[in-house]
Amino acid sequence: MKLREEMPTFDGVTEWVNGEVRKAGLKGSPVLVHYWSISCHACKETLPQLNEWRERYKERGLQVVSIHMPRSEKDMELGPVKAAIKQYELIHPVAIDNGYKLVDAYKNQYVPAYYLFDAEQKLRHYQAGEKGLKMLKKRLDRILMPDEAE
């Protein structure tokens, strides 16, 4: 995806955990779309940071949607994915994308990956890998807390 490109829909999800999300229902709120995989060690290490951001920025209207992207056939087993969602306290909506419909819509290739959309559903920042979390936090601060950003 390119900056300022519009957020894709969430059509074709295999299963939703913690409630289903529709693009229209997110309009007017900034949205952080997060890709992860159960077999990705770095993904698991970054989940506490994701949860912290979800709580820190919720007063500013941030909506978080995670998308589980399987990296192997074993990653498509729903039971372990749901157990990981519970274990890592992902209480926001999580799409399980075993058909790669969202992966294709976002043209996503990596986990973890983060897509930050503004309230008009335009892509404002993309970050892949765990190394860029500081950059993503700066962007979150700039978009959601402009008075407090550096």
How does pLDDT run across 52-68, given as a tens digit for each residue?
999 999 999 999 999 99
- The confidence band for 149, taking pLDDT boundaries of 50, 70 and 90, is very low
Q: Which domain covers residue 88, as residue numbers?
A: 32-61+70-114+127-145
Ranking 6-10, 18-22, 56-60 by mean pLDDT, the lowest is: 56-60
Q: Which pLDDT band holds residue 147 (cuts at 50, 70, 90)?
A: low
Q: Residue 52: count other Cβ atoms within 10 Å of its Cβ.
A: 11
In a domain, 75, yes or no: yes
Q: What is the pTM of this model?
A: 0.94
CATH of the domain at 91: 3.40.30.10
CB-neighbour burial class of residue 142 (10 A; exposed 0-12, middle 13-18, buried 19+): middle
Residue 92: pLDDT band (50, 70, 90) is very high
